Structure formats: C-alpha cells, structure tokens
Structure 1
C-alpha cells in the first residue's frame, strides 16, 4: 500500500484509520480496526513500516503493518491509555495509562513486546522523550506535577509542581526547555504554556493560550510553538521570542491533535465533532482546506518516507 508521505488519522468514533494525501488534500483509503477499540493517538518509528495505534477503549496498542495494511499485533497496556511517544535512538515506545497511574514500555527490536509497566504519578497524560538524553517528561493531572524519569532504571530524578493541571509536555529541539500545556478546571481564562528551564528545573515563562492546550508542536526553526487548544477549538501559533500568540485559527467546536507536513508548511488539525481535518497555513494564520474523514478524528501523524541508502 502506498503510505509513504501520507498523513494518518485515527477515527475514534468508528474504529478506523484514514490515510490522507497532503498534496491532493483528500482521503485516499481507510483501514478498519476491531469494533469498539477507540483509536485515539498515533505514532510511527522512523525507518519502519509499523504504525502504532493507542486504543483507549481496548486498553491496548495496535501495530499496523503499513506495507500490507493489516494489524500485525495487539499489545495489552494499562487502563485508559491516551498519549504515546517514541525514542528512535533506542527503539522504545512509551504509553501513558491514566487510570492505572503507569506508563507501558514497549521495545521494538526483533519482536514488538511490552517490557514493563512502570508506576508513575497520579493520572499521567502527556509524555515526551528527550532528543538525546535518556530522559522522559510526564505530565500528571491529578497530582498537578511534571515528573522527569530516566530511561535506564525508570526512576524519577526530578519532580516539578505546577499551578493547574498539566496535560501536555514537549521537549524543545535544542533540549534545554520543556514546554508544558496547563489548564484550570472551570476557568477558561487561565490556560497557559509553561516554559521550564531544564538546567535549573524552574518555570521561567508563562504564555496565555486557549482553553485546554493538550497538544504542543515546535516548528523546525525552533521559533514557534503550535498549540492545539482543545476546548477553544483553535490552533494557536506562539512566537517563542516575544512570548505571545501571533495567530489564532478556528478549527472547529473542539480540536483533537495536529501534525505538520513534510516541509513543515501546513499543519493538519483534527476536528472531532465535525469529522474532518483542517489544513492550516500556520505562518499566515489562515485555514486552507477541510478534508472529510471518519467519525471523531483524534490522533494524527505524518508518515515520513523510509529512506534506504543505495550501495556505492
């Protein structure tokens, strides 16, 4: 199946995966999963044809072979899995399990398998792996803190309490800052992105954003941070130099997730209630197109082509 360079979308409401052609801005085909599994988040290892699908209702991780378009394996994880990150350096996959206060550690070696279930804080949500250090950052809603966990023995090396409910974390490309999406129950005006200095482990800047900033994505130049504000239904573009929102694009009644295309020019943002993906020129702050997909689209990921070196 021709999946290279396409964008995959998890349709949580109908248990399917849509595959979009970013050049033609249309859905090309769809893979259906078992009924009732609730695909909610997606990830892909580099140089691998395996698409990883977090299945919230089935408490599992599905592994789809993109070359043949079938589910190759289903791995049990903890209760209510929601966020996923991958470390391409060690070929390790991490999934947060909100209702069992743990993360599942999956190794992608000769055979995909769950290596361990690691206890963490209360109601873990967002998780990210540092680009070059053996370090995880995990956001916990109930305990209102960020844990830093080393990936050799999986012990906590640092805890930072935050005011509010952290839901998303993302390491900067330079590795010196952690972005944290933080919101407050019943108060739509107090939603922020926190910037944490990883040397001093302190919050050094707070940037006001829309309600429930639950997905964060740094642009390739490191100058801007894209924020998916779930309850506000907006994609917001934050200038990290000035610390202000420079564009706010209405996507739908709510926002699910987002991904950048190959050149990083357009953001593809899921709108769950409308059953579509919104194509946004984030630099101009303008919506370009809508692509209809399945019911309640949630997770989304760009499927980079696997590059094989030719022999000299």
Structure 2
C-alpha cells in the first residue's frame, strides 16, 4: 500500500507580509451562500438578505494566476465545499486539477483538504494528499473529515477533524470521486467512476458493507431528504436512485443529457438535474410513481451545483463558465437574477 503523505499547516490568524497575500478577517454572521471559484481559488460569500459579496482568498496567488513573490502556496482548483454540522467550519476538496474540464489526467496531481473558519474566512488547516480528491466532507457528528483518493485502486480516507490525523483508509472501487452521507447518518457513499459502482460504508465500523452497480461513470451519490441517494452517471446520462433502507437501486432515470449535479427538493417533491456544459437545469416530477421530466430553467453556461434554501422556495445554481450564481424561484421555476462571482464557480453550500 502506497504511503499517504500528510502534512498539516495550522494557519491561525497569521497574516502574510504583503498586501497581495493578506486575507482580511471577516465577520460573516448572516445567512449566506458559500461558492467555490475553482479558477480564482476563492470563495464568494453571498449574503442571502441583500446579495452583497465578501471574498475569501484560499491562495497567495497574485493576479494572472502566478504565485506571489517568495510564496510556496500550491492551492489549485478547489472544487467542492461542505459545512460542519455546527456551522462553524468549511471543508474543501482541492484536487489540484480543473475538474470542470472532466476527470481525465487527474492521476498526475496531488490533492488537499482545507478547513476554513466559516465566520472569519481564515484557513485553519491544510492537509496534503499524494493523489487528487474530489471533495472533503464532515461526518454527520462533525468529528471526522472524509475524502477519497482518485486513483485506480481507490481509497476513502477518514481523518480526525480536530487534528487531521489519518484514522482509516478504506478500499473502494476504481477512481472514486465524491463521498457523501445518507440523511439518516448511518452510511457513507463513495461513487466509483472507474468501476461504475457505489461503495456503501458503515460509518461506525468503517467497513464496506455493499457495492452497488450503477450507470456509466458515476460522480456523486447526492443526498436526498426522502431517504434516497441520487447518483449522477455522467457517461451513462442517467440517474440511479438508491434507497438507503434497502441499499438497492429502486429506479433508473434516463436523462438524454449529461448530468452535472442532482438535488432533491422536499417541499416540492421534485428532482432537479443540471445539464453539464449547457445552460439549463431540468426538473422532474412524480408521474405514475416514476420521475418524469417536467420542464427546464435557463440559468447560465455549464450549470453545475444546485442548493436549495431551507424552506425549499429558492434554488441557487452555480454556472461554471458564466462566472455567476443564478437565484431561482423554485415553485415557479423562473430565474430571479444572476450574481457575479469568481472564475469557474462549482461547489456551493448554504449556511442559514
């Protein structure tokens, strides 16, 4: 087994010596949307009351993408972002490669995990991995950080959230991407893009209890509050729906387009799927106990991640090649406005 190289840099509130490297200490207290801008290496923090934006710098890079003088910073292309259960910290996967252009060539880079203070914007720790990762996510109790290694002999890694020491290394399928958790807090689901499967891991025992065959090149098993996991199969152009109680596929939805992300809206009982590379989000409703395409919403080019407000009335969609986040009236399926953010926005999380 190849040794995993791990190093932790505790940043605290240390400020760099040049203005270019300085991250201002923020005071984010309002309900906000945190948007990862992969190419800008920043987080746009959108105040959901007035849509004003604060920016969190994750890198010491100066303009034009070059490193600042004497900088050893190597944070490149942060991808997905998750909030700790208590709402105080953000966990960010940094694959080191632009995943908006696809997953080819990812084996040549090294990934990282960043932990950021959700209120101040200060980086609390940086953990280096010897292979790229798709995301990093807090466990349901907030005591662990889970991530994957995107390599042929795939691994799901579990770290102690307090000191970022490696606790477990779990063998999964080939080229795993996103790792997520079921809404009941019992299982982790790792989407194995190279094996066309999803590994189900018992959170307590850290053992794979089942491997479920899905469509071609799954990227994530996205958590639904209805007791299902929604798996987007990019090459298969489908969604595999896994029932968490049964741990089996209960429905496969053929899309006819490449999915970028899947989100379930409980208040409307709708499934929303973004169309990767295109400017649309499609919504599906239940008809004869099956998901049927009901319509589309035009957002921005390369629509990607979808997040709903707590009451399900608003949707927030990142548009990777439009440098915007679209705010959508979910019930009426109409766009309200676009908000300008950084370059190649992808992951988004809502803090209420």
Give the TM interval when normalised to the shorter protein: 0.7 to 0.9
Partner residue of 1:297? Answer: 303
Structure 2 stretches of 5 or more lacking a match?
1-28, 60-74, 97-109, 313-352
Superposition deviation, residue 252 in structure 1:
4.3
Once the two structures are superposed, the pairs formed by residues 153-232 of structure 1 within 5 Å of their partners are: 153-184=163-194, 190-222=195-227, 224-232=228-236
1:86 matches 2:68: no
Residues 202-245 of structure 1 show CA distances to partners (whole Å, capped at 9, x for unaligned) of: 211111111222122233243x2211112222222123444443
Aligned equivalent of 1:286, options 282, 286, 292: 292
Residues 264-296 of structure 1 show CA distances to partners (whole Å, capped at 9, x for unaligned) of: 611211002331001023662211111111111
Give the whole-Å Cα distance in 1 for the aligned partners of 2:265 and 2:135.
Answer: 22
Partner residue of 1:66? Answer: 48
TM-score by length of 2: 0.66
Partner residue of 2:127? Answer: 118
Superposition deviation, residue 90 in structure 1:
4.8
**Which has more strand, going by share of residues?**
1
Bigger radius of gyration among the two: 2
Residues 35-55 of structure 1 show CA distances to partners (whole Å, capped at 9, x for unaligned) of: xxxxxxxxxxxx842211111
Higher mean displacement: 123-132 or 292-301: 123-132
Aligned equivalent of 1:96, options 90, 93, 98: 93
Change (3 A) 1:201 1:131: closer
Structure 1 stretches of 5 or more lacking a match?
1-46, 185-189, 307-312
SS in 2 for 1:82: coil
Aligned residues: 254
Give the whole-Å Cα distance in 2 for the aligned partners of 1:220 and 1:105.
Answer: 26
Superposition deviation, residue 172 in structure 1:
2.2
Give the whole-Å Cα distance in 2 for the aligned partners of 1:243 and 1:130.
Answer: 20
Deviation above 3 Å: which 4+ runs of structure 1? 240-244
TM-score by length of 1: 0.74
Q: CA RMSD in A?
A: 2.4
Give the whole-Å Cα distance in 2 for the aligned partners of 1:242 and 1:305.
Answer: 28
Give the whole-Å Cα distance in 2 for the aligned partners of 1:159 and 1:296.
Answer: 34
1:75 matches 2:44: no
Aligned equivalent of 1:246, options 247, 250, 253: 250
Give the whole-Å Cα distance in 2 for the aligned partners of 1:66 and 1:56.
Answer: 21
SS in 2 for 1:256: strand
Q: Is the 8 A contact 1:92 1:107 kept in 2?
A: yes
Q: Is the 8 A contact 1:118 1:154 kept in 2?
A: yes
